[in-house]
Chain A
Amino acid sequence: MDTMAEIRQTFFQECEEQLSEMELGLLAMDEGNADSETVNAVFRAVHSIKGGAGAFKLTELVQFAHSFETALDHVRSGKLTPTPEMMKIMLRAADVLSDLVEASRDGREINEANYASIAADVKALTTFDGVEEVEEPIDFQPTIIDFGMPELAIEPEPAASQEHEYRINFAPRPELYANANETILIFRELNRLGAMQAFCDAAAIPSLDDIDPNGAYFSWAVQLKSEADIAGVREVFEFVDGEADLTIESDGQAEVSDADIAALLAQALGTPPAADTANASEPSAEIIPISTMPAPVAASSETADVEPAVAPVQAVESSKPDTKAAVVPAQTTIRVEFDRVDRLINLVGELVINQAMLSQRVIEANFAGSSSVVIGLEELEQLTREIQESVMAIRAQPVKPLFQRMSRMVREVADATGKEVKLKTEGEATEVDKTVVERLAEPLTHMIRNAVDHGIESPEVRLAAGKPAEGTVRLTAAHRSGRIVIELSDDGAGINRPKVRASAINKGLIPADMQLSDSDIDNLLFLPGFSTAATISSISGRGVGMDVVKRSIQALGGRISISSRPGLGSTFSMSLPLTLAVLDGMAVSVAGQTLVVPLTAIVETLKPKKSEVHGLGSDGRVMSIRDTFVPLIDVGTQLGFRETPTQPENSVALLVETGGGARNALLVDSIQDQRQVVIKSLETNYGTVAGIAAATILGDGRVALILDVDALVSKSFEETLVGELHYGTGG
């Protein structure tokens, strides 16, 4: 039962990969790149899902996947030429397929009515002259797809107790490989029936120049001793029926010792799939015992620049359905639970702290600079940093899955609003911490909805404005100076600034006579309680505004900005840290305490002169920086570390910028240094502290607090404090 659950889980994990592969391929086809490679990739993905689903008796999934697959097969064989309308159906079918996979995974009830129309559309694609073509039986055997779980194989039951001898001639045709069948699986299956010896006939291999990479040149002669009857043997070849020339002779004469067979089989079957093909024998015309061949389905990743002697084998290899994998060296991966990775990351964090502590002790102990201890320590420091970076890289994930989800979102919203929108993505391979990817999904979804719902105009309006009827939403990701920058732009109407301004005044968010620059007006979108949609649609305007988006981005340590050109569209740009586990910060001293200020917030550091600091109001102070006045905040008094404000001329001012772009000067006693710190949660054992984002552990083993700059400078900080302080009297 447990193994079954495990296999099931693996299947769904594989499904996710297949689905993403499928989506990628379909999108490429949609772009007009319907080359056979791409179509094959999509076909394989759907086929694999169908295969696995069959093994778990997920009937609805199998049925839907089957008709989808049939349609794809027609595209592949050229019976159907992809048209934009057809691709729409295909993409929607892909959505349904992933829904079905999800529903099957969660064991939810599947309501056929939900996708009946799509299913009908897909069926219609495959219906020529009113006849639906059926390529393969629906209840096919699932073992054909190598999920790496041969446990799934349905064991043929030996029908007779009497042993027969069979002589099987098996010559696959190219279709066999094209339909994602694997000869090794057939041999494995045969081997289950009894003692077997297989000979490979490589005589048909032409010279290298004449090789068709999709051709099939090998044939096999198999001698089998088995208790199974001829039907049982034939059953093994059931699924390649019509895709290979097959003759099975019963009770022929073949005498091979059992030991030989065992040895040969061990060699033939035990060869790992990625076997080195270099030891493959020359293309001889004789029948080569299979043992001297590498596993016939070896997924060779080497390209054809090897000596010709090996080439024939490789050429046949690449005729297998895994063509793509054969061209690009496949990255081997393992699945690891995230808990384990997190534990490792925590431990490495400890290591970094420990190493810093050790360094500090050594410095305190006053070793001479040339001492080997110091050199050793430096090496240790380098190593720890490398380990830390490598471990962080484990958590890094490409944004690709996130972006793919967005393309579906665009399709759905575009359909619901009657607009034509295309999503273009760039930089999907950009990697960022898993947590960042996860927590980006919601704000990004919301922004995409907004872009399609509010940004892109309806086709008529677009045509009238001289733009193509189909709008484009562009989603890009890139690494820039240690951060990931994600940009979302549309070629819509841009922000209607007069309307935004009027709306903000109407809602009492800004005074009517307020002077605002264009970018000020754009930033009004981020104000809580702001929504310009005249009618609240079901898509955007669910009460979740851009302020929530901004807050989620800020919670990730990121910033968001907006730029818009009337008539040309808007761009939202988000800059996020690559990881949430470490942070580059500036260590400062305040009232005898060490605090860490996130480096990303700091614009510059200044030494204030007395003449630059001006009082404003009863206890407010501002500082003039190049003729602009910014509020001066004494970190010591703000955090309650001291009663009386410090003298600016004895302090250092940090000019900080909040996520909203507001600038403030933070007054601290002195700057210690700049360092990378490991972020430790205060919430785990205590709770949230106003003005403090988290804690970290310093080289001397003490805890230092990391400032939450945005909270510290926000005008509402004092009010939040009143709310927070009530506990002081509690208990």
Chain B
Amino acid sequence: MQNNDLTANSANNEFVAFRVGAQEFCVDIMGVREIRGWTPATPLPHAPSYVRGVINLRGAVLPIVDLGLRFGLGPTEPTPRSVIIVVHIHQQVVGLLVDAVSDILTSSEASMQPTPDIASDMAKTFVKGVYAVDSRMISIVTLDSVLPISAKAAA
């Protein structure tokens, strides 16, 4: 997400916060194109397990990444509350399947804390920092490596 690296520390950024399993995450709102309900996806052959398949987003073919599986938190079981967050990742548009969208946060770059140093690969790959909001911990997700490597290279 291009806007994750904003250097302006005075500016307050807005984030879309969402829940995957028991944990909370957020992404910069500037990268979010829309939020939509879950529709069954068409599975892609030989795709990694966390790629749920593709759906039709007004005529465009949109791959759906199950963030639960991608983050190693177990599969997201689609329920009526499940949503797809449609985000821009570089030149591509990708849908992220999450359990629920909880909040829009306004926060400054300055109040971001570095990711606590733990052994989890997932944390190192996808989390670039955390926010403390009302005693909740919300991880800021960097989306660069959400899609499979070869899929990105081929695009």
Contact = CB atoms under 8 A, between A and B. Distances in A.
A and B: bona fide binding partners: yes
Contacts of A731: 70, 125, 145-146, 148-149
Interface in B90-124: 92-94
B74 interface: no
Interface of B: 39-49, 51, 53-56, 58-63, 70, 92-94, 125, 145-155
Contact of B148 (A681, A682, A684, A727): A727
Contact of B55 (A353, A682, A703): A703
A639 B60 contact: no
B40 A681 contact: no
Contacts of B153: 687
B59 A728 contact: no
Contact of B150 (A350, A692, A695, A727): A727
Closest A-B pairs by Cβ, 3 of them: A687-B151, A639-B45, A687-B154
Nearest to A712: B45
A702 B56 contact: yes
A726 B39 CA distance: 28
Given A641-B45, A701-B56, A731-B149, 6 more contacts: A593-B43, A640-B45, A687-B147, A687-B154, A703-B42, A726-B150
Nearest to B150: A727
Contacts of A728: 48-49, 148
A685 B149 contact: no
Interface string A684-707: 111111111001010001111100
A707 to B, nearest CB: 10
25 contacts: A349-B59, A350-B58, A593-B42, A640-B46, A682-B61, A683-B154, A684-B61, A685-B62, A685-B94, A686-B54, A691-B45, A695-B54, A695-B61, A702-B39, A702-B40, A703-B41, A703-B56, A704-B42, A724-B46, A727-B48, A727-B150, A728-B48, A731-B70, A731-B146, A731-B148
A701 to B, nearest CB: 5
Nearest to A635: B45
A685 B150 contact: no
Nearest to B44: A689
B40 to A, nearest CB: 7
A727 B155 contact: no
A434 interface: no
Contacts of A703: 41-42, 53-56, 61
Interface of B is mostly: mixed
A725 interface: yes
Contacts of A685: 60-63, 92-94, 155
Contact of B155 (A639, A684, A702, A730): A684
A685 B84 CA distance: 15
A680 B61 contact: yes
Most buried by A among B41, B146, B150: B150
Contacts of B61: 680-682, 684-686, 695, 697, 703
A469 B75 CA distance: 74
A689 B47 contact: yes
Contacts of B125: 731
Contacts of A730: 48, 148-150
B45 A687 contact: no
A687 B46 contact: no
Nearest to B122: A731
Interface residues of A, number: 36
Given A683-B155, A685-B93, A705 B42 contact: yes
B60 A680 contact: yes
A355 interface: no
A104 interface: no
Contacts of A724: 46, 150
Contacts of B42: 593, 695, 702-705
Contacts of A689: 44-47
Contacts of A691: 45-46
B92 A684 contact: yes
Nearest to B89: A685
A702 B40 CA distance: 8
Contacts of A680: 59-61
Contacts of B62: 685
Contacts of A346: 59
Contacts of B150: 687, 724, 726-727, 730
A727 B155 CA distance: 14
A272 B23 CA distance: 73
Contacts of B93: 685
A730 B47 CA distance: 12
A274 interface: no
A593 B48 CA distance: 18
A682 to B, nearest CB: 6
A71 B43 CA distance: 68
A662 interface: no
B59 A353 contact: yes
A686 B153 CA distance: 10
Nearest to B41: A703
A560 B55 CA distance: 35
A639 B40 CA distance: 19
A684 B88 CA distance: 12
Interface string A649-687: 000000000000000000000000000000011111111
Interface string A714-731: 000000010011111011
A641 to B, nearest CB: 7
Contact of A687 (B53, B55, B145, B148): B148
